[in-house]
Amino acid sequence: MVTTSVTGGSIWSGSSGEWQARDLQIEDDTIRAVRAPGESRSADVLDLTGLKLSPGMIELQINGGWGIDLQHEPGRLWELGARLPAVGVTAFLPTLTSNGAIGMDEALAALAAGPPQGWAGAEPLGWHFEGPWLSPVKAGAHDVGALTSIPAVLDARLSPEHGVRLVTLAPELSGARAAIAELVDRGVRVSLGHTAASAAEARDGFGAGATMGTHLFNAMDGLHHREPGLALPLLLDGHWVGLIADGHHVAPDLVDLAWRLARDRIVLVSDAVALLGMTGDEVARLDDGTLAGSVIGLDRCVRNLMRFAGVGLGRALTAATAHPCAVLGLDDRHSVAAGQRADLVALDAAGNVQMTMVGGQVVFDVRQESGSDGAD
């Protein structure tokens, strides 16, 4: 058994709305005790004096980063996972868009094969298939030619057991209601997105079992005063709200509005593409100007939420930690508490990642790195 004492940090108390100084006792991959400072020591001490300790961030929508493009190379998901701790991510859903749907076999096989020997990084929890059952009029960066109708018989591999955790589809498509119900029955979470659905059609999709909307305001109708689309039930009806807080996909003032209306349901996602960690730009676009994903990490989405909506670090972090855990039904890594998995991120007061731990193992420490490794 490997025992580690984590000292000097503070953890967020959602009930009191305060950061409280606490030491942690970690045994192997689990937090065994959370104590007042100075109550315990072990031979192996990790000093995080002055830093804020949070559960690791959970990324539900990421297409690539650091030159890795999962749409063309889904087998490189483990390489992507090895880089993600630099931006505070300890678990993620590698995302395959409609453009990459042809690579489904390779994607599932790579996940099933497991990590290469000696690998360490953010844990892939299963794939997010964003498409190909999307509206052609709301395809965004998806190739319209790659979109397909919903089949009468769903592929048996669309299940958590085979490596699929989340599916985004358009609820107005023929067969969508039955597909949503079947996917949910298999244990797959369903998110509505890339859709021209009316509010009524969207609510029908939620009634069938969908629980989330994919990237609020993007690839859906806006809040038209007579014909509201998916955005309306997302903001008002109690569903999980995926949000790209890069300042480009959604204007900062509308990020603020979304937070005011749905703060307890906001799920930050980066929707990052291969340029993450490789460019100083903040957004990727197609040649015609269409938005094609962000190039910032989930940590920066947290910092942007703080800035755009006037949110403190503790509350902003819940949108990248506890909320995505709730979407996936994860009850083992949503808080810094005894019995939880030792997936942790340590940040400074501004929300910059300083250290990331996965399963009790430090996999990123800025104090041992020459730079931020793409976090900004």
CATH of the domain at 362: 2.30.40.10
Instruction: Mark whether 281 and 178 lie in a shared domain.
Output: yes
Q: Is residue 374 part of a domain?
A: no
Mean pLDDT of 9-29: 89
Q: Is residue 18 part of a domain?
A: yes
Q: Is residue 376 part of a domain?
A: no
Instruction: Mark whether 342 and 264 lie in a shared domain.
Output: no
Q: Is residue 17 part of a domain?
A: yes
Say how far residue 218 (Cα) sits from the centre of its chain: 16
Q: Is 94's pLDDT higher than 80?
A: yes
Would you say 168 and 192 are in contact if contact means Cβ atoms under 8 Å apart? yes
Residue 70: which domain range?
A: 57-328
What is the reported pLDDT for 374? 46
> Of all residues in the chain, what percent carry a pLDDT higher than 90?
84
Q: Is 358's pLDDT higher than 90?
A: yes
What is the reported pLDDT for 376? 52
Instruction: Mark whether 350 and 214 lie in a shared domain.
Output: no
Q: Which region holds residue 252: left if phi is over 0, alpha if psi is between -120 and 50, else beta?
A: alpha
Give residue 372's pLDDT band: very low, low, confident or very high (50, 70, 90).
Answer: very low
- Taking CB atoms within 8 Å and a gap of at least 24, the contacts of 326-335 are 326/240, 327/60, 327/166, 327/189, 327/211, 327/212, 327/240, 327/267, 328/58, 328/60, 328/125, 328/165, 328/166, 328/189, 329/189, 330/58, 330/125, 333/55, 333/56, 333/58, 333/90, 333/91, 334/55, 335/55
What are 67's two structure tokens? 């030159």
Closest of 164, 87, 169, 181 to residue 328, by C-alpha: 164
Instruction: Mark whether 323 and 341 lie in a shared domain.
Output: no
What is the reported pLDDT for 371? 47
Q: Is 40's pLDDT higher than 90?
A: no
Mean pLDDT of 153-172: 98
Q: Which residue has the tokens 């990324």?
A: 59
Mean pLDDT of 176-181: 98
3-state secondary structure (DSSP) of residue 230: coil
Say how far residue 302 (Cα) sits from the centre of its chain: 11
Q: Is residue 136 part of a domain?
A: yes
pLDDT in tens, 264-287: 999 999 999 999 998 766 677 777
pLDDT in tens, 297-332: 999 999 999 999 999 999 999 999 999 999 999 999
3-state secondary structure (DSSP) of residue 118: coil
Average the pLDDT over each of 88-97, 168-177, 271-280, 341-350 and give the range with the smallest value. Answer: 271-280
What are 98's two structure tokens? 């409609």
CATH number at residue 143: 3.20.20.140
> What secondary structure does DSSP assign to 279-299, as a single string?
-S-SEEE-TTS-EEEE-S-HH
Beta bridge partners of 5: 25, 45
Instruction: Mark whether 229 and 364 lie in a shared domain.
Output: no
Q: Which of 271, 288, 331, 376 is catalytic?
A: 271
Mean pLDDT of 184-200: 97
Q: How would you label 106-134 residue by residue, b for 16+ Cβ within 10 Å and e otherwise? A: bbbebbeeebeeeeebbbbbbbbbbbbbb
| Count of other CB atoms within 10 angstroms of residue 264 | 14
Instruction: Mark whether 312 and 338 lie in a shared domain.
Output: no
Q: Is residue 320 part of a domain?
A: yes
Verify whether residue 271 is a known catalytic residue. yes
Instruction: Mark whether 350 and 309 lie in a shared domain.
Output: no
- DSSP β-ladder status, 291-294 and 283-285: antiparallel
Give residue 152's pLDDT band: very low, low, confident or very high (50, 70, 90).
Answer: very high
Closest of 161, 167, 208 to residue 189, by C-alpha: 167
Instruction: Mark whether 164 and 239 lie in a shared domain.
Output: yes
What is the reported pLDDT for 227? 86
Q: Is residue 375 part of a domain?
A: no
Mean pLDDT of 94-100: 94
Number of domains in the chain: 2
Is the pTM here over 0.85, yes or no?
Answer: yes
Instruction: Mark whether 62 and 27 lie in a shared domain.
Output: no
Q: Which residue has the tokens 């991959």?
A: 29
What is the reported pLDDT for 286? 77
Mean pLDDT of 93-118: 95
What are 205's two structure tokens? 């999709």
Q: Which region holds residue 78: left if phi is over 0, alpha if psi is between -120 and 50, else beta?
A: alpha
**How many angstroms separate the Cα of 95 from the Cα of each of 77, 224, 238?**
9, 30, 25
Q: Is residue 373 part of a domain?
A: no
Instruction: Mark whether 114 and 216 lie in a shared domain.
Output: yes
Instruction: Mark whether 22 and 92 lie in a shared domain.
Output: no
Instruction: Mark whether 269 and 160 lie in a shared domain.
Output: yes
Say how far residue 261 (Cα) sits from the centre of its chain: 20
pLDDT in tens, 42-74: 668 999 999 999 999 999 999 999 999 999 999
